[in-house]
């Protein structure tokens, strides 16, 4: 299942097989669990075929992650029972048909209000929101329409204590024609809404593809960023030495800014899911 499919259905189906005890015993030890911010995993990219969802939840906790995000509601109680947080869910569907079109505003408002109630009930910190695709629309019209749509629900988000995070996605590789494909675009939306509960989701993978200059951009816009996602570039794979980003340096820069929220691991493992999760945790734990 792709992330696009998850957002469209606002949930993820279960996977199948579990690893054996002998396989678990041969894994390398988890890295230290201390750090200046918290980490989570994105369910859609770790719940691969052959991974038992219940074991995935337990391994997430064992490695040191504090939460799971973008996960279907059927797993929320199990996640909470393990002492983990459900960190984010999609505030509305879909990615392509989003807030930049006024005809979507009533539907999206209804979806966000329902999800705000769920978020408050389950202690979910963030609802992820999407601009939608351009389809020939100008940047100015898209920015103003997106801001107008978010203004309709900003007060409700403030009352619930939940942040609406507008995610920037790349329009070059993964989400062709997506409107909020640059930091400056999403930043202008947030400024026009002018709510402490409307912020940006800075996806490092996507913005490396579109802009580069990641550390400087984060520093310059830190007050407007509510959440971070990771993945290796190119390919959205592991945070290893085959990809071009220096994630250790990026995480240190984020921590030095005083960030205490969550960094979500949103890469698709090349091989063993749990080994990839442990490695990424160690890279980002600063």
Q: Which residues are catalytic?
A: 167, 266
3-class SS letters over the chain: CCHHHHHHHCCCCCCCCCCCHHHHHCCCCCCCCCCCCEEEEEHHHHCCCCCCHHHHHHHHHHHCCCEEECCCHHHHHHHHHCCCEECEEECCCCCCCCCCCHHHHHHHHHHHHHHHHHHHHHCCCEEEECCCECCCCCHHHHHHHHHHHHHHHHHHHHHHCCEEEEECCCCCCCCCCECCCCHHHHHHHHHHHCCCCEEEEEEHHHHHHHCCCHHHHHHHHHHHEEEEEECECCCCECCCCCCCCCHHHHHHHHHHCCCCCEEEECCCCCCCHHHHHHHHHHHHCC
């Amino acid at each position: 299942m792709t992330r696009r499919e998850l957002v469209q259905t606002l949930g993820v189906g279960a996977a199948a097989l579990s690893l054996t005890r002998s396989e678990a015993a041969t894994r390398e030890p988890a890295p230290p669990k201390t750090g200046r911010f918290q980490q989570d995993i994105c369910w859609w990219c770790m719940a691969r075929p052959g991974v038992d969802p219940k074991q995935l939840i337990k391994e997430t906790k064992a490695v040191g992650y504090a939460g799971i995000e973008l996960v279907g509601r059927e797993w929320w109680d199990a996640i909470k029972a393990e002492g983990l947080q459900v960190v984010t869910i999609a505030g509305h569907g879909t990615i392509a048909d989003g807030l930049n079109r006024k005809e979507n505003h009533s539907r999206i408002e209804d979806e966000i209000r329902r999800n705000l109630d769920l978020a408050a009930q389950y202690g979910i910190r963030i609802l992820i929101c999407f601009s939608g695709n351009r389809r020939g629309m100008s940047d100015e019209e898209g920015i103003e329409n997106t801001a107008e749509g978010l203004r309709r629900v900003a007060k409700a988000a403030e009352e619930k204590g939940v942040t609406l995070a507008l995610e920037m996605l790349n329009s070059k590789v993964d989400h062709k024609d997506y409107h909020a494909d640059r930091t400056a675009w999403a930043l202008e939306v947030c400024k026009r809404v002018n709510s402490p509960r409307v912020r940006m989701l800075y996806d490092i993978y996507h913005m490396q593809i579109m802009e580069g200059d990641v550390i400087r951009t984060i520093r310059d816009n830190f007050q407007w960023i509510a959440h971070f996602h990771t993945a290796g570039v190119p390919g959205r794979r592991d945070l290893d030495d085959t990809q071009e980003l220096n994630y250790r340096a990026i995480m240190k820069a984020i921590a030095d800014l005083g960030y205490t929220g969550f960094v979500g691991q949103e890469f698709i493992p090349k091989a063993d899911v749990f080994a990839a999760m442990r490695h990424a945790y160690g890279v980002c734990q600063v």
